Amino acid sequence: MPHDPFTAMKAAARESWATFGPNAMFTTKPAATLVEWASVQRDERVLDVGCGTGVVAVTAAMRGAVVTALDLSPVLLDEARRNAAISELPMTLLEGDCEQLPFADQSFDVVMSQFGHMFAPRPEVAIAEMLRVLRQGGRIAFSTWPPELLMGRMFDLFAKFVPPPHGAALPSSWGTAQVVRERLGSRVRDVEFGSGEMHSPALSPAHFRARMEQGSPPLLKAIASLHGDEAAIARLRREVESIAVGYFRDNCMTQAFLMTRAVKV
Ligand SMILES: C[S@@+](CC[C@H](N)C(=O)[O-])C[C@H]1O[C@@H](n2cnc3c(N)ncnc32)[C@H](O)[C@@H]1O
């Protein structure tokens, strides 16, 4: 197995994503949008990469797909197991890294990721793995946050406080169609882009920011990096809210996201 220079980063991510669970309330509807975008069919073998609490996995299983889902976080996988149990649908849930998928070549008909593989530090490794386990003629489909919109801007802001390790890509780079096209390269055909909308009810941008402080690992890490400097933390909070205000209307944060689909050649 080639050396992975990002082992420490992934070990930290494995722990920090544990707080993400409540945010699944906002990724639940986008999951239906992605599963429809991927046109998941009964009996297809589907892989959900970076599954979190299993919103995409369960949605695909409800359409009759044979689902496998993988995530770094054991805590989120436990939530995914509970969601699968409630739906009374069998699925395989595994702890793992999307840069090193524990599956044989061409194991799946559809490989999907909703705001998941975008957090891998090496996009070229993650996409090579996702395409390796996809059968020829199978579909890859994913949703990602663009750098110029709410979540992408937030993640880029937090990266100024906690820069990614040298050589790691910014997650928001997956939100630009041209970059995605280059990363997929000639290994796929029929590349198509679409967009979906994500809605997060909130009483104000400040309430949205306060909720992010409970469940968003990148913001929590940015705050921790300020070592209790209350003035600096207050400035960061204001900056977060000044981004959020542009997306706030009628007690809701609304933002578009990029969707990609393609067929493996
Ligand atoms: C923003 S959450 C999205 C979760 C879920 N797909 C959803 O839409 O609710 C990002 C997820 O990616 C997972 N993740 C981050 N890096 C990963 C990696 N290298 N391999 C697998 N999963 C990863 C995190 O543990 C987390 O569950």
Protein residue with least CA distance to atom 5, ligand 1:
52
The answer to whether the CB of 159 falls within 8 A of the CB of 221 is: no
- Helix 205-215 to helix 230-244 angle (10° resolution) is 120
pLDDT tens readout for residues 221-257:
999 999 999 999 999 999 999 999 999 999 999 999 9
Ligand 1 centroid vs 72 CA: distance in angstroms?
Answer: 7
The answer to whether the CB of 61 falls within 8 A of the CB of 35 is: no
Ligand 1 centroid vs 22 CA: distance in angstroms?
Answer: 14
What's the pLDDT at 216? 87
What's the pLDDT at 1? 55
The answer to whether the CB of 18 falls within 8 A of the CB of 75 is: yes
Q: How far is CA 59 from CA 35, 92, 168, in A?
A: 7, 14, 31
pLDDT tens readout for residues 6-31:
999 999 999 999 999 999 999 999 99
pLDDT tens readout for residues 120-149:
999 999 999 999 999 999 999 999 999 999
Q: How many CB atoms lie within 10 A of CB 74?
A: 12
DSSP class of 252: E
Ligand 1 centroid vs 49 CA: distance in angstroms?
Answer: 7
Give the residues surrounding ligand 1 with Cβ less than 6 Å away.
10, 13, 17, 20, 24, 27, 50-53, 55-56, 71-73, 76, 97-99, 114-116, 119-120
Indicate which atom in ligand 1 lies nearest the CA of residue 126: 19
What's the pLDDT at 2? 66
Ligand 1 centroid vs 91 CA: distance in angstroms?
Answer: 18
Name the band, by pLDDT with cuts 50, 70 and 90, for residue 46.
Answer: very high
**Mean local confidence (pLDDT), 32-51:** 98
**Whether CATH 3.40.50.150 fits 7-150+161-197+256-264:** yes
pLDDT tens readout for residues 142-176:
999 999 999 999 999 999 999 989 999 999 999 99
Does the reported pTM lie above 0.85? yes
Domain ranges of the chain: 7-150+161-197+256-264
